[in-house]
Structure 1
């Protein structure tokens, strides 16, 4: 009897929400897969490298959790998923500081600051980079256009789910 009541009251997940959930779930799993493949290839990594790998694992796991929560129709999933996508909008590098997090696909448009400004378009799958004090790396800013589209779609889907 309880099972029938539970199934009857369960809300159906809309196709857009399901697609967004699967994207986040698969993007996070792909990132974790890449991390697991890369870790054994490291030769005597520094503690800071392990800290970076741990941060990447936490972010990719967060993406997986966001996907599961969206798939289950949890209201808090929209806020968490929006936070996950906002973390993926900007990638940058200045001096010794660099940041890039993508769980899924990156379609990035950016600028590299050299003697002349260089416009770039980047495509990548589930990537992560965090560097602090890494020397004179190139300076750049990139905007992940796909993350911006996903933020729009998450807002639209949240409005449809919460509308009276």
Structure 2
């Protein structure tokens, strides 16, 4: 349970962030199970990639769970770590990486025949579902580089929330001052 000395507004923010990560993580696990069920041949490399996806989504669920309880401070620190691998995604000469634990707003630069039109393209991608892509030595030689603006914003948001909560905690424990409501 989130401590009582935390203001209602900040409790709501913790709860929203926590549920966002839990729901995104559960959806990611379900999508990963669905993809796994459709995979015809599973090599050790593919199994390792699926384990990585499960680990990332499970970590998101864990972070969200911490945010909803007394360990919210640890949850905030781990939530920042959870957002970092979501910032950049890429595809280059057959190798690709993309991980979104929930929604995404990405600025994307792409080049190649796999894009909407051959040549250099710049765009904005919106996604509301968790997504992961890991490719190793695939036949796709196109280039794509994306930056997830939502992940960057969430890191900023979490850091500011962490600072505000630390201030509330210090006021409560040391000075005995009641937090703003």
**TM-score after normalising by structure 2:** 0.80
After TM superposition, which residue ranges in structure 1, 4 or more long, deviate above 4 angstroms? Answer: none
Specify the SS of the correspondent of 1:143.
Answer: strand
Gaps of 5+ in 2: 113-117, 171-181
Alignment root-mean-square deviation, CA:
1.7
Q: Which runs of 5+ in 1 are unaligned?
A: 1-6
Question: Which of 1 and 2 has greater Rg?
Answer: 2
The 3-state SS of whatever aligns with 1:87 is helix
Deviates more, 1:79-88 or 1:136-145: 136-145
| Structure 1 residue aligned with 2:137 | 133
Alpha-carbon distance in structure 1 between the residues aligned to 2:29 and 2:143: 27
Paired position in structure 1 for 2:78: 80
Give, in whole Å, the separation in 1 of the partners of 2:39 and 2:111. Answer: 30
Structure 1 residue 11 corresponds to structure 2 residue 15: no
SS of the equivalent of 2:137 reads coil
The number of equivalent residue pairs is: 156
Does 1:21 pair with 2:18? yes
Deviations 1:120-162, CA, capped at 9 Å, x for gaps? 2222210111122224431111111111111111011101111
5 Å matches for 1:1-164?
A: 11-12=3-4, 14-74=11-71, 75-114=73-112, 116-124=119-127, 125-163=129-167, 164=170
Local SS of the residue matching 2:42: coil
1:26 CA displacement: 0.7
CA distance in 2, matches of 1:95, 1:117: 15
Separation (CA, whole Å) in 2 of partners of 1:99 and 1:72: 32
